[in-house]
A and B are shown apart, each in its own frame.
Chain A
Amino acid sequence: MNSPLKRVSVACLLMFGLLMANVTYIGTVKADGLRTDSRNVRGFYARYAVDRGWITADNGKTTLAKTVDSGDKTFRFEREYPLGKPFTHVVGWFAPESASGIEAAMNRYLDGSHPELVVRRAIDMVSGKPAKGASVDLTLNSKAQEIAYKDLAGTGKRGAVVALEPKTGKVLAMVSVPSYDPNPLAKANKDTVNKAYNKLNKDDNKPLLNRAIDLTFAPGSTFKTVTSAAYLSDDTSRDENTQVDAPDSLPLPGTSISLPNYHGESCGGRATLVEALTISCNTPFAKMGMELGYDKLKEQAEKFGVGQPLEIPLNVAASNIGADEGKAALAKTAIGQQSNQMTPLQMAMVAAGIANQGTVMKPYLVNKIMGPDGAEIDGTDPEELDEAVTPEVAGELTKMMIGVIENGTGGAAKLPGITVAGKTGTAETLPGKPSHAWFISFAPVEDPKVAVAVFVESGSAGNDATGGAVAAPIAHDVMQAVLGR
């Protein structure tokens, strides 16, 4: 009977071989698909098994997101956002099936799965401790952020505020209004979170969008700074006192219409660049744009960062001045209308670039990353994005922008004892709709510490002065908060 027994032996071996092959197939080839299957709730549980790193500001002194050990076996670590609404769009939230903001962009550090943390994680795994993530410290100045939110929300309008440190590119404040409380989205319950999310998603005011970086808007007169930069750079003999044509109305070539100054005001026929910017004449800048041509204007805008998709590490929508649609269109583009569309962050970069002697720094939100043991494992080094203008041109632009604050439309942003440079803006939107109100500024001029862009959606009723009336006071408060006055 030994020969059939040997065959049965081989058959048994074959059965175990098949089982082993199949188990190997499941444990390797199929494993990822099974692990990530939406019906496998382990992925959902795993999100609450990690002692997620905290998100802080002010060099770790202010807590924006923290992890609380609930003691629950399945959902042990819960996420809380103690300061809530003002920080929502930057910090984001960590929901059962998704995440946003820094919570999403820095997730691999926060949950400890980043390659830099892998050794630490392996030690935790072997010792049976829950995995611990790294903490992320943001560049935000919490005081500036809070005041920016308070002021902007106080207008009752939608909008955004961005404040940058001109010399480094640190984002000191980034606010979007309307905002919402992130805490209900961080609950370990898919149903309630989905309900809360759907409600926000259906809201006509689109609170989920970060208006500082997700959307672009017509920049209006604040864009005249870019047009001026191109005009001054085009010919080094020009400076802030160069006389330019400032007619009461400018016929647009190829059309039967003329471009007026607002309310048909007069700019006196001829004006220096300082005068033209101070009272925000339209015709001189429109004419400059047409003289320069589309390519030069576009090139100048690109040097300020326009057209570049940025990761700060949040994704920033690319701004653009629109397509080349002829001279008449270009005249409007030069004064921030037509298809000219900028993110509030982009306009803050323009102000910061002028403040930093023409060099635009790459904006960033992450100050440093601290390992679970508190040691710094990574930090962001300031990086130059581009030299937008020469230091000379930057100085000339600064003088023009000082005029706006001292004698012009931006008086509301004056700070006692500090020289401020700025520019108001009012961008026409659809006919019959209120205009957008803008304001960009930086201070102190001698040693710039902060550059701000304030954007109020549909914030004014057609008068450029309201860029100064609605947006400038907010910039004033934000600059004051940063400068500690």
Chain B
Amino acid sequence: MTAKRRGAQLGMLAFAVLIVMGAYASVGLGINGKVPSGMLGYGLGLGGLMLAAYLVLAKWAPWADPLLLPLVTLVNGIGLVMIYRIELAGQAGASATNQLMWTALGVVMFSATLIVLKDHRALQRLTYTAGFVGVVLMAIPALLPGSLSEVQGAKIWIRIGGFSIQPGEFAKLALVVFFAGYLVAKRDVLALAGRRLLFIDLPRARDLGPVLITWGFAIATLVLEKDLGTSLLLFGAFIAMLYIATQRTSWVLIGILLFVGGAFLAGQVFSHVEARFNVWLHAEDPALYDAGGGSYQLMQGMFAMGSGGILGTGLGQGYPKLIPLSFSDFIFSATGEELGLTGLMAILMIYALIVQRGLRTSLAARDPFTKLLAGGLSFILAWQVFIIVGGVTRLIPLTGLVTPFMSAGGSALLANWMLIALLVRMSDAARRPPPQAIQDEGMTQVMQR
């Protein structure tokens, strides 16, 4: 019998807010030797925001997983503190006020999603609408002129006036919904075995269609938007969901082969893909370090993490300004300098816990659509963390992606809070006890004999 554990959830939420406030105070002490003057307002603001989120959750999804909201609050809060800290260091572009505003909007989106979407299975009916929306969102930056869509080489923005959104982040959600709906409908066909090669059952050739289309879409993203990160993110999520739906390892192998092959071909044609690989392999090479578009940024991130060592310099005591874009793509490295290996392990642990709670929801879910959607959303979160954190730590080639909930950026925050809202909604459904059979009458009859 599942308990609601609401008291525990509120306690953990308060604890998360408390940690973030401690970190905020620590930044002030580290830089100016005193607690920041806005401490109380900031604390009340974040606390109030999270309390509101909690109340919405308690009313509209009372059976939801009690861990998700506190975990997300903690990682979002640490990101906020880091951006505040980087803004104080004077790096252009870092704005804690903006990030706090986007966090507030993110919580509004979270609440709105929970209130409006009483039953997530309604999304299954919107499968093809979601697919259409996802493709359109992805396509807009590619079709817009560069002046409205391109920032630092990646053509992934819609910029109107002083306002910019990254439609890919929302497309991510729409496409996972589409994949889930589509695969539930087609999984029986896609699971049919074709020829057997070595130990693996290959699918039938005629079923390759959807995979090839998605693949073409991913490669188009790579080529037209110069965005290896999103391309890898979406294709990986599709393959993982295909595997969950069909249980066929062959799909995974086909997917990997297709993507690696496609990326290799693209690398032959487009220099930036090959450059990424070179930077990854030879980052410490002085020639690459000094070259424009070389390994300077990556190495600055590595220097930051190395200098942080095991315990870090302490908040406010490092030099995040040395890393270009330390508030967005490289926020993980900047955090590593000040919180050290210890802090990074804690952050990775928080992400891992969020993902595992999501996957647990998927396992506990009763219908295939919920299983696929929860599994897909959890995987895409893990996959995104893996791609960006792996990239900045030189585990894999660096591809620009947002570090979920930490990097500065409104679109990503809104989209990821919606992602969490969906997981919360589904966990509520999965954990809600089934209606009790009424047995009292029978008992009464026995007594009456």
In the complex, the answer to whether B303 meets A37 with C-beta atoms within 8 Å is yes
Q: CA of A42 to CA of B322 in the docked complex: distance in angstroms? A: 9
32-65 of chain A: CB within 8 A of chain B: 32-35, 37, 39-42, 45
Known: A5-B362, A40-B307, A128-B29. A19 touches B389 (CB 8 A): yes
A interface footprint on B18-62 (CB within 8 Å = 1, 0 otherwise): 000000001001100100000000000000000000000000000
Q: Which candidate, A20-28, A190-198, A258-266, A375-383, is the interface stretch facing chain B?
A: A20-28
Known: A19-B390, A40-B307. A8 touches B29 (CB 8 A): no
Known: A5-B362, A39-B299, A41-B322. A23 touches B305 (CB 8 A): yes
In the complex, the answer to whether B363 meets A6 with C-beta atoms within 8 Å is yes
Q: Kindly list the 6 A-B residue pairs having the minimum CB-CB distance in the complex, ordered from nearest.
A: A34-B306, A27-B341, A40-B303, A16-B352, A12-B382, A15-B386
Closest Cβ of chain B to A328, distance in Å, is: 58
In the complex, the answer to whether A1 meets B306 with C-beta atoms within 8 Å is no
21 contacts between A and B (CB under 8 A): A1-B245, A4-B246, A4-B247, A6-B363, A8-B243, A11-B240, A12-B382, A15-B382, A19-B390, A20-B345, A23-B389, A24-B345, A27-B305, A27-B310, A27-B336, A34-B305, A41-B322, A125-B314, A128-B29, A128-B30, A128-B33
The residues of A that contact B372 with a CB separation of less than 8 Å are 1
Judge whether A315 is part of the interface by a CB distance below 8 angstroms: no
Known: A1-B244, A5-B359. A28 touches B307 (CB 8 A): no
A interface footprint on B342-378 (CB within 8 Å = 1, 0 otherwise): 0011001001100110010011000010011001001
A interface footprint on B86-110 (CB within 8 Å = 1, 0 otherwise): 0000000000000000000000000
Judge whether B8 is part of the interface by a CB distance below 8 angstroms: no
- Chain A interface SS verdict (over half): helix
Known: A18-B395, A20-B345, A42-B319. A9 touches B359 (CB 8 A): yes
Tell me the nearest residue of chain B to A26, going by C-beta.
B305
In the complex, the answer to whether A35 meets B307 with C-beta atoms within 8 Å is yes
Closest Cβ of chain A to B277, distance in Å, is: 18
Tell me the nearest residue of chain B to A24, going by C-beta.
B341
Judge whether B393 is part of the interface by a CB distance below 8 angstroms: yes
Closest Cβ of chain B to A45, distance in Å, is: 6
Q: CA of A433 to CA of B136 in the docked complex: distance in angstroms? A: 90
The residues of A that contact B336 with a CB separation of less than 8 Å are 23, 26-27
In the complex, the answer to whether B393 meets A23 with C-beta atoms within 8 Å is yes
The residues of B that contact A2 with a CB separation of less than 8 Å are 363, 371
Partner of B319, one of A13, A18, A45: A45
Q: CA of A33 to CA of B299 in the docked complex: distance in angstroms? A: 12
The residues of A that contact B400 with a CB separation of less than 8 Å are none
Pick the most buried of A19, A24, A32, A33: most chain B CB atoms within 10 A of its CB: A19
**Interface size (A, Cβ < 8 Å)?**
37
Closest Cβ of chain B to A255, distance in Å, is: 60
In the complex, the answer to whether A8 meets B379 with C-beta atoms within 8 Å is yes
In the complex, the answer to whether A22 meets B395 with C-beta atoms within 8 Å is yes
Closest Cβ of chain B to A440, distance in Å, is: 52
Closest Cβ of chain B to A111, distance in Å, is: 16
Judge whether A30 is part of the interface by a CB distance below 8 angstroms: yes
- Chain B interface SS verdict (over half): helix
Judge whether A3 is part of the interface by a CB distance below 8 angstroms: yes
Judge whether A118 is part of the interface by a CB distance below 8 angstroms: no
Tell me the nearest residue of chain A to B30, going by C-beta.
A128
Pick the most buried of B378, B390, B395: most chain A CB atoms within 10 A of its CB: B395
Judge whether A31 is part of the interface by a CB distance below 8 angstroms: yes
Q: CA of A378 to CA of B307 in the docked complex: distance in angstroms? A: 31
In the complex, the answer to whether A9 meets B306 with C-beta atoms within 8 Å is no
Q: CA of A39 to CA of B395 in the docked complex: distance in angstroms? A: 21
Q: CA of A16 to CA of B375 in the docked complex: distance in angstroms? A: 16
The residues of B that contact A125 with a CB separation of less than 8 Å are 314
Known: A16-B352, A27-B340, A128-B314. A4 touches B243 (CB 8 A): yes
Judge whether B289 is part of the interface by a CB distance below 8 angstroms: yes
Q: CA of A11 to CA of B372 in the docked complex: distance in angstroms? A: 16
Judge whether B410 is part of the interface by a CB distance below 8 angstroms: no
Q: CA of A313 to CA of B301 in the docked complex: distance in angstroms? A: 39
Tell me the nearest residue of chain B to A36, going by C-beta.
B306
In the complex, the answer to whether A8 meets B240 with C-beta atoms within 8 Å is yes
Partner of B309, one of A4, A13, A31: A31
Judge whether B302 is part of the interface by a CB distance below 8 angstroms: yes
The residues of B that contact A23 with a CB separation of less than 8 Å are 305, 336, 341, 344-345, 348, 389, 393
Known: A8-B243, A23-B336. A35 touches B359 (CB 8 A): no
Judge whether B308 is part of the interface by a CB distance below 8 angstroms: yes
The residues of B that contact A9 with a CB separation of less than 8 Å are 356, 359, 363
The residues of A that contact B305 with a CB separation of less than 8 Å are 23, 26-27, 31, 34
Judge whether B331 is part of the interface by a CB distance below 8 angstroms: no
A interface footprint on B390-414 (CB within 8 Å = 1, 0 otherwise): 1001110000000000000000000
The residues of B that contact A39 with a CB separation of less than 8 Å are 289, 299, 303
Judge whether B138 is part of the interface by a CB distance below 8 angstroms: no
Tell me the nearest residue of chain B to A34, going by C-beta.
B306
Judge whether B385 is part of the interface by a CB distance below 8 angstroms: yes
Q: CA of A5 to CA of B359 in the docked complex: distance in angstroms? A: 8
The residues of A that contact B393 with a CB separation of less than 8 Å are 19, 22-23, 26
Closest Cβ of chain A to B314, distance in Å, is: 7
A interface footprint on B290-328 (CB within 8 Å = 1, 0 otherwise): 000000000100110111111000101101001000000
Q: CA of A7 to CA of B390 in the docked complex: distance in angstroms? A: 21
In the complex, the answer to whether A27 meets B308 with C-beta atoms within 8 Å is yes
The residues of A that contact B378 with a CB separation of less than 8 Å are 12
The residues of A that contact B243 with a CB separation of less than 8 Å are 4, 7-8
In the complex, the answer to whether B319 meets A3 with C-beta atoms within 8 Å is no
Closest Cβ of chain A to B435, distance in Å, is: 23
The residues of B that contact A40 with a CB separation of less than 8 Å are 303, 306-307
Known contacts A16-B348, A16-B351; 19 further A-B pairs (Cβ under 8 A): A2-B363, A7-B243, A8-B359, A12-B359, A23-B336, A23-B344, A23-B345, A23-B389, A26-B305, A27-B309, A27-B340, A27-B344, A30-B302, A34-B302, A40-B303, A40-B307, A42-B307, A128-B30, A128-B314
Q: CA of A22 to CA of B393 in the docked complex: distance in angstroms? A: 7
Closest Cβ of chain B to A222, distance in Å, is: 53
Closest Cβ of chain A to B322, distance in Å, is: 7
Q: CA of A22 to CA of B344 in the docked complex: distance in angstroms? A: 11
Known: A28-B310, A39-B303. A12 touches B390 (CB 8 A): no
Q: CA of A274 to CA of B139 in the docked complex: distance in angstroms? A: 106
Q: CA of A128 to CA of B316 in the docked complex: distance in angstroms? A: 9
Partner of B244, one of A4, A27, A30, A37: A4
Tell me the nearest residue of chain B to A30, going by C-beta.
B306
